[in-house]
Amino acid sequence: MAFVQGLIAAARGDRALAGRRFEEAAQGWGAVLSTSSRAAGEDYLAVLVDLGRPPVVGLVEPERELAAIDRERALLAASRPS
């Protein structure tokens, strides 16, 4: 959700908000990557307690999501006014 909010903010020209949302999204996907590499089930109960639903590991590709975020962050940085 934060990534989409960042895309909307960037389209509206709100670079500061876009940067914050892209950072939030990157942190979220980074957390998914770090927990998906742990032993199966190790953090499963914590996720259920935190979110009230099973994790989405396997349904999405965190590496691909992070790559998309990184591309948008690079575009944002490249479009800085001089």
* pTM of the shown model: 0.69
Cβ burial, residue 22 (10 Å; 0-12/13-18/19+): buried
Q: Going residue by residue through the chain (82 aa), what tens digit of pLDDT does each one get?
A: 999 999 999 999 999 999 999 999 999 988 878 766 555 555 555 555 555 555 555 567 888 999 999 999 999 999 877 6
Using alpha carbons, list the distances in angstroms from residue 35 to 2, 40, 81: 19, 9, 38
